[in-house]
């Protein structure tokens, strides 16, 4: 049985267009907890899926705002890990490579990935809940002279909210359309650190496979993607991706 890393190198060497789908697992070794991790302390008793919804925000704007401030702090302190850097370095091996991420941090960009599609938004940005000046009406909270939490939109007085996609909300149309197109056109799809539970993001590996692209998974556990993966690298992305990059380099 050949080593799975070698199997992946063989597949990647045939590919021109590499699509990558990442989830919270790729940021775990940077100290950003995944959605499945019980958040520590104050937030341990809350279920993220209950908090990451428009209803939760309308019912308890301060609680949800404070939860995002807590997560923003963790993201601000986080650094890209060896997995992010190895993924960015893979770009030099493919004429076309796009990272489609479910994550709301910007660690792929910080590590040097040059083409990243954010399906679920960006936790560092805020917007008017009513999008009163257009979709999205981004608000720079640092410029608002208030310590109200959540702050109010300076244009219309509605609450300001994080610029992320909540459960029950539609994804940014341009990002989703491009992600489907990239998945359809891909020669290979690398799926890293996602439980594959959340749709429509979780449908993308099937779209790639349906169009003839082998799916490669990097995850220390099984996920909803494992059953359609041609090869699985069983381990943390911070370990497996540098190993994969090394094997590609040695194969040059």
- Exposure of 119 by Cβ count < 10 A (0-12 exposed, 13-18 middle, 19+ buried)? buried
132 in contact with Zn ion (CB under 5 A): yes
Closest to Zn ion by CB, 5 vs 132, is 132
Closest to Zn ion by CB, 62 vs 155, is 155
153 in contact with Zn ion (CB under 5 A): yes
207 in contact with Zn ion (CB under 5 A): no
Closest residue to ligand BV8, judged by C-beta, is 25
Closest to Zn ion by CB, 151 vs 235, is 151
Name the binder of 153 from Zn ion, ligand BV8, none, CB < 5-8 A by kind.
Zn ion
Tell me the three state secondary structure of residue 190: strand
Name the binder of 34 from Zn ion, ligand BV8, none, CB < 5-8 A by kind.
ligand BV8
- Binding residues for ligand BV8, total number by CB under 6 A: 37
Q: How far is the CB of 126 from Zn ion (least distance, A)?
A: 11
**Residues from 79 through 118 that contact ligand BV8 (CB under 6 A):** 102, 104
Please state whether 197 falls in left (phi above 0), alpha (psi between -120 and 50) or beta.
alpha
Closest to ligand BV8 by CB, 214 vs 238, is 238
38 in contact with Zn ion (CB under 5 A): no
- Which residue of the set 84, 108, 118, 120 is catalytic? 120
Q: How far is the CB of 221 from ligand BV8 (least distance, A)?
A: 4
Stretch that binds Zn ion, among 40-48, 55-63, 121-129, 226-234 (CB under 5 A): 121-129
d(CA 92, CA 78): 25
C-alpha distances (whole Å) from 120 to each of 68, 76, 228 are 14, 18, 23
d(CA 62, CA 57): 8
Identify the CA nearest to 22 among candidates 101, 84, 92, 78.
Answer: 101
- The token duo for 215 is 């799916």
120 labelled catalytic: yes
Cβ partners under 8 Å of residue 105, min gap 6:
27, 30, 32, 75, 78, 123, 124
Name the binder of 237 from ligand BV8, Zn ion, none, CB < 5-8 A by kind.
ligand BV8
- In 3-state terms the chain splits into helix, strand, coil percentages (rounded to 5) of 40, 15, 40
Catalytic residue positions, numbered: 120
């Amino acid at each position: 049985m050949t080593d799975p890393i070698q199997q992946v190198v063989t597949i990647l060497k045939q590919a021109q267009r590499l699509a990558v789908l990442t989830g919270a697992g790729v940021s775990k070794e940077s100290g950003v907890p995944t959605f499945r991790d019980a958040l520590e302390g104050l937030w341990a008793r809350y279920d993220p899926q209950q908090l990451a919804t428009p209803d939760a925000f309308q019912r308890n704007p301060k609680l949800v705002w404070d939860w995002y401030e807590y997560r923003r702090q963790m993201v601000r302190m986080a650094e890209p890990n060896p997995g992010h850097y190895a993924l960015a370095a893979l770009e030099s091996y493919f004429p076309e490579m796009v990272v489609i991420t479910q994550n709301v941090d910007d660690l792929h960009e910080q590590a040097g990935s040059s083409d990243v599609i954010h399906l679920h938004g960006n936790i560092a940005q805020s917007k008017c809940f009513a999008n009163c000046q257009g979709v999205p009406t981004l608000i720079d909270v640092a410029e608002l002279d208030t310590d109200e939490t959540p702050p109010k939109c300076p244009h219309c007085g509605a609450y300001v909210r994080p610029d992320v996609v909540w459960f029950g909300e539609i994804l940014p149309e341009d990002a989703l359309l491009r992600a489907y197109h990239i998945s359809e056109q891909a020669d290979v799809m690398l799926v890293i650190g996602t439980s594959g539970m959340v749709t429509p993001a979780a449908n993308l590996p099937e779209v790639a496979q349906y169009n003839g692209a082998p799916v490669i998974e990097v995850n220390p556990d099984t996920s909803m993607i494992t059953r359609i993966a041609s090869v699985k690298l069983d381990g943390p992305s911070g370990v497996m991706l540098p190993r994969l990059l090394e094997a590609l380099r040695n194969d040059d």
